[in-house]
Amino acid sequence: MHVLYRKELSDHINSTRCQILYFMLALVCFIALYGAEQTLAQSASQTSDGTTTVSKFMFLLLFTTSGSNIYSISTFLGFLGPVFGIMLGFDAINEEIAQGTLNRLAAQPIWRDTIIISKFLAGATFIFLTVFSIGGLVTGIGMIGTGLVPSGEEVARILFYLLMASIYICTWMALAELFSVTCRHAATSALSSIAIWLFLTMFMSLLASGIAGMVYPTGQSVQGQMNTLANYNLQVGLNRISPYYLFSEVTTILMNPNVRSTNLVSILQSSDSAIASYLTLGQSLLQIIPHIVVMFAEMIAFFAAAYISFMRKEIRA
């Protein structure tokens, strides 16, 4: 197993495709970091007159603040992460078939699941390496650039965030691997994965509000008023099927200790003038435990589907 794992990992690291992806992601993150620094510098100069309070978690803002004409790092990770995962996974199995190496590999004295498990683990390792190295670079450059020093809690939050980002990307890789088993051609599998990604990222919210509107119509009538809460809950629930939505909520909670809830309460709290204080890391994690579990479950489910369909697949020339 470790022989195959090593080979797969070195394939990833040496492939042009992965190097391009890596540098693209790194470049985008650095530009986003620059944008964030600009914005923060502006707001810092504004706050120095004492009208607004400076966040206690200034350093985290580097990840979530967007520049004047560029998205924030967390937005980029949420958006480009899936592309990264899909690129790593979409041709895992069907490429082997196209090369004619799969039946040779399957004829070696290894269990068949070794093949797909090694591929997944190698991909996951590469994702972890990428996310953590880029996260580390961004943190380091951010420290030099801004002169801010992250507190222990900030470091812990960043590490958790990067871990979540890795799992998020792994989820998409597992999905792409599922398609790489079921689709004969790499192009089909890539397009299918990208279609699902676009759907879950862009259109899931439209679909969710549509369905919620149909099931619990809201309006001026008494019943409509009564339905508001159910409508909202259903809409959010449907949205949370998408790993993209889950990940964005995880980002919000982890990187912004101000946010106390992902439920309806989060809307109410702003109007209800809650006490202005931060959640501790433990409390923030408590908020997103369900999200983490669901995201992990989705990853496992996608991988399990890929695993099962691979094990049942007929391997022939």
Between 110 and 285, name the residue whose CB sits nearer to another protein: 110
Least separation, in Å, of the C-beta of 53 and another protein?
56
Q: Is 100 left (phi over 0), alpha (psi -120 to 50) or beta?
A: left
Distance CA 310, CA 182 (A): 8
Question: Which lies closer to another protein via its Cβ, residue 47 or residue 99?
Answer: 99
Q: Which is nearer to another protein, 4 or 127 (CB)?
A: 4
HSE of 191, CA atoms in CB hemisphere, 13 A: 6
Cα 70 → chain centroid: 19
Shortest reach from residue 309's CB to another protein, in Å: 15
Min dist. Cβ of residue 38 to another protein (A): 42
Calpha distance 251→87 (Å, rounded): 23
Select 108 or 270, whichever has its Cβ closest to another protein. 108
CA 41, CA 27: separation in Å to the nearest integer? 21
Residue 11 or 24: which CB sits closer to another protein?
A: 11
CB of 10: closest distance to another protein in angstroms?
10
The DSSP secondary structure of 20-73, one letter per residue, reads HHHHHHHHHHHHHHHHHHHHHHHHHHHHTTSSSPPPTTHHHHHHH---SSS--H
* CB of 106 or CB of 281, closer to another protein: 106
DSSP secondary structure, 210-256, as one string: HHHHHHS--SSSHHHHHHHHHHHHHHHHHHTTSHHHHHHHHHHHHH-
Residue from 128, 104, 126 nearest 115 by CA: 104
Of 107 and 144, nearer to another protein (C-beta) is: 107
Cβ at position 111, least distance to another protein in Å: 7
Interface with another protein (CB under 8 A):
3-4, 7, 11, 14-15, 99-101, 103-111, 314-317
Q: How far is the CB of 317 from another protein (least distance, A)?
A: 5
Q: How far is the CB of 57 from another protein (least distance, A)?
A: 45
Q: Which burial class, exposed, middle or buried, applies to 134 when counting CB atoms under 10 A from its CB (0-12, 13-18, 19+)?
A: buried
In the complex with another protein, the residue whose CB is nearer, 107 or 275, is 107
Nearest-approach distance from CB 213 to another protein, in angstroms: 45
Task: Give least dist CB 79 to another protein, A.
Answer: 30
For another protein, give the closer residue by CB, 50 or 109: 109
Q: What is the rounded CA–CA span in Å between residue 129 and residue 124? A: 9
Cβ pair 167, 296 in contact under 8 A = yes
CA neighbor of 74 nearest in space, from 83, 64, 66: 64
